[in-house]
Amino acid sequence: MALKTSEEYAARLARMRPNVYAHGKKIRRDDPMLEMPINTLKFTFDAVNDPELKDLLVTESHLTGEPINRFCSLNMSIDDLYKQQDMKRRCCHRVGGCTQRCMATDTLNAIGVVTKEIDDARGTGYFDHFIEFLKYYQANDLVGSTAMTDAKGDRLRRPSQQHDPDLYLHVVEKNDKGIVVKGAKNHITMGPYVDEHLVIPTRAMKEDDADWAVSFAIPADAENIKIISRVVSARPRIELDAPYNTFGVADSVVVFDNVFVPWERVFMCGEWQFAGRLAQVFAGQHRHSYCGCKPAITDIVLGTAALAAEYNGVEKSSHIVDELTELMIIAELIFASGIAAAARAQKTSSGIYTPEFLYSNTGRYFAGINIYHEYDVLNSIAGGLPSTIPPEADWLNPETGPDLEKYISRGAKIPAEKLHRLFRFISDFTCSAMAGWSQYAGVHGGGSPVMEKIGVRAGYDLESKKKIAKHLAGIKD
């Protein structure tokens, strides 16, 4: 059975070699510090049995015909891309933010596309390595990281030009059994609770950079891998349980200190001409994912702002209606970019469909530049209470609770508990460590807005626009 339970996932994490460091100490993967981040991933396993989600979450492996989790699947049709986008939007609603698992889906798709292209051009055998790995990944319902972003050193220098070669992950040895790699990948989400790291290059390269053009999959607890993590969890509640307060996330520096990778897990080694292509195909896939998940964040902001306005009795005020309408437009324009990217997707030689790069980039760019504005709207409508609300313990204290209940009152018909729950949620969602994480992820995850601008310009036919202007102005060359 290729669909595993969340308990099976947690149990296999607990069996892994401890190589995770967090907040100053070495921890096992069943450490309570990781409970909330792991809950987020557990949701993606449980959702296959959720009547409202299972039709999106469960799909068929195109390799074996077995039912698998869509997070482990390849996009073998345009319909798959539509379903990916819908799945991300609906799942993010449930966890109140990033479900995290889509990164590996996008990386698997990108590796599938580019290994086939390398084989077609060079007669290598990377695509077969990838397919064998994918069968194993799907059969075990694995969770992978995307280990793409290198330390990068001086941003304007290529890997071979850096003062320290390890600032980009590179190959230090090749032998008949495999390769040995050294370097680190930064910002790696889910690092402490993935089964596998999926490593891909972060940029285009030139001939001198051939040793840095490397891609592979490696068990997260393999020898000589160290995962240094920063854990962020929603604020725990005492009695006022809420779904949002059960989730979290962890990002990490993943250090590869002479790590051996057997050939059958290597997907690129030295083919520098394809490094940029792999980075770009991943970016296109992942920015398409953002066209599903970012509208979900806007939906949460929008719904929460609308509820706060309703409870405050100002929902019909014209400035509120106007601001909420703007949020609706932001969410739906980003989503529409994703639909356009799927509708114009290209079938690659591997059979995998890649979303149209232009529209993935326009959607992701628009999401990135609006994220702080969206929080601004919610902040403005909610008023100051989310930042000043007394701790839950003071609501539970019989000496102070009744005062707090009395003075949170809005209209007579709205019970104090509903107000307490809403404003405490807004506090956790906008004014906490999780909020800060989510805002930074909203700007930089999948590539900073400047990278999407580069993506838009890269293939854009500006000359054809000049021709239009020349035609209308009567200019003849």
* Residues engaged in binding ligand FAD (CB under 6 A): 103, 145-149, 152, 155-156, 185, 187-189, 251, 437, 440-441, 444-445, 447-448, 450
| Residue 192: CB minimum distance to ligand FAD, A | 12
| Residue 464: CB minimum distance to ligand FAD, A | 27
Judged by beta carbon, residue 152 or residue 235, the one nearer ligand FAD is: 152
The dihedral built from the CA positions of residue 255, 257, 263 and 266, taken in this order, carries a sign that is: positive
| Residue 209: CB minimum distance to ligand FAD, A | 14
Return d(Cα 444, Cα 436) in angstroms, integer.
Answer: 12
Return d(Cα 104, Cα 69) in angstroms, integer.
Answer: 12
Residue of 156, 210, 214 whose CA lies nearest to 182: 214
Q: Are the CB atoms for 304 and 298 separated by under 8 Å?
A: no
Judged by beta carbon, residue 113 or residue 434, the one nearer ligand FAD is: 434
| Residue 219: CB minimum distance to ligand FAD, A | 17
Judged by beta carbon, residue 185 or residue 277, the one nearer ligand FAD is: 185
Judged by beta carbon, residue 168 or residue 423, the one nearer ligand FAD is: 168
Judged by beta carbon, residue 171 or residue 441, the one nearer ligand FAD is: 441
Residue of 242, 226, 195, 218 whose CA lies nearest to 38: 195
| Residue 189: CB minimum distance to ligand FAD, A | 4
| Residue 258: CB minimum distance to ligand FAD, A | 21
| Residue 252: CB minimum distance to ligand FAD, A | 9
| Residue 45: CB minimum distance to ligand FAD, A | 19
Judged by beta carbon, residue 61 or residue 289, the one nearer ligand FAD is: 289
Judged by beta carbon, residue 190 or residue 342, the one nearer ligand FAD is: 190
The residue count of the chain comes to: 477
Residue of 308, 270, 267 whose CA lies nearest to 144: 267
Judged by beta carbon, residue 169 or residue 389, the one nearer ligand FAD is: 169
Taking CB atoms, the residue at the shortest distance from ligand FAD is 148
Amino acid identity for residue 86 in this structure: D
Mention every residue, 6+ apart, whose C-beta is less than 8 A from residue 297: 92, 97, 371, 374, 438, 442
